[in-house]
Amino acid sequence: MSRKEGQFALAISAYNKGQFTSLKAACTRYDAPYSTTYDRVKGAIPQRDFRPRNQKLTDLEESALIQWMLSMEAKGLPVRKDSIRQMTDLLLEKRTGVGRIIVGKCWVDNFIKRHDSLRTKYTRKYDYKRAKCEDPTIIRDWFRLVHNIVAKYGIL
């Protein structure tokens, strides 16, 4: 929940509990814009939660795309925006059976903004010396040496 959403929620909650005589007073206290808070009380949906009818991906496809992105990041392979766009185009092509459907230029940025679990990051170059030190055979040999020394000298 963003800071603004929290302000709206606090103002509405305080007003509903009767801590303030008017919604305007609650909005002033919690520094929340009155018109937006009033709209929320009347049932308006936050803009970021609004699902347009012409939405490109289904909810299931969006969650699959998010899982793919997070799994790639967990493996140390950050996903670039062009890769997200290509994967989205592939999902659309598979679902519709129509030729290449291309998402818009700002679609990926808006997709990332819509989902709290996603963040953009800058990638760093991976140092060759560092990568060489992370070689599993070198690490395994080092631990084997430590194990032998512990066994040889009876170190606990």
Token pair listed for 66: 């998010």
- The residue ranking higher by pLDDT, 47 or 59, is 59
- 46 vs 62, more confident: 62
pTM score, whole prediction: 0.51
Closest residue by Cα to residue 32 from 10, 14, 65: 10
Answer yes or no: is pLDDT of 4 > 70: yes
* pLDDT at residue 54 in the model: 65
Q: Please give the average per-residue pLDDT across 10-29, as a whole number.
A: 91
Sequence spans of domains, the chain: 3-49, 59-114, 125-156
